[in-house]
């Protein structure tokens, strides 16, 4: 029983590191790189995606198409590629899985009045797909 108690802080520390969601756009691809979700580390049956709320995905995509940088992005469909980051036993981060999960049209994103109305459009797809990767 003692070994279980002493190992809990070490394993919890591994998952509470500063891991964030990254969403660059390159060559009509949107790359969503995020940690594999964990269940129950923060609370019972609570899903954690690192230090970022899952809606950050929708907010950043909306800003990339509707903010200043999005003024020139209207050139066809963009493929959404989900990459899962994990930490190996040595503490190094690596991409453990990569999958194209859909496409998105910048003109469709620009129809939303604000990012609050766009929330859930991409993140819900990510949440459904990520558990099968």
Closest C-alpha among 44, 11, 55, 32 to residue 130: 32
Mean pLDDT over 54-71 rounds to 86
pLDDT at 33: 93
Of residues 103 and 44, more confidently modeled: 103
pLDDT at 11: 37
Closest C-alpha among 74, 95, 68 to residue 84: 95
* 48 close to 21: Cβ distance less than 8 angstroms: no
* 37 close to 86: Cβ distance less than 8 angstroms: no
Beta bridge partners, 29, equal: 26, 79
Among 15-19, 38-42, 122-126, whose mean pLDDT is lowest? 15-19
Name the pTM for this structure. Answer: 0.75
pLDDT at 51: 67
Place of tokens 């939303």: 112
């Amino acid at each position: 029983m003692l070994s279980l108690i002493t190992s809990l802080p070490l394993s919890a520390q591994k998952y509470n590191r500063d891991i964030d969601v990254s969403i660059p756009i390159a060559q009509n691809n949107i790359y969503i790189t995020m940690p594999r979700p964990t269940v129950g580390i923060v609370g019972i049956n609570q899903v954690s995606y690192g230090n970022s709320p899952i809606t950050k995905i929708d907010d950043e995509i909306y800003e990339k198409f509707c903010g200043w940088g999005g003024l020139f992005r209207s050139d066809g469909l963009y493929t959404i590629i989900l990459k899962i980051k994990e930490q190996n036993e040595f503490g190094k981060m690596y991409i453990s899985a990569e999958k194209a999960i859909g496409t998105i049209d910048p003109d469709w994103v620009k129809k939303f009045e604000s990012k609050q109305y766009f929330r859930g459009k991409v993140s819900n797809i990510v949440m459904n797909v990520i558990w099968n990767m």
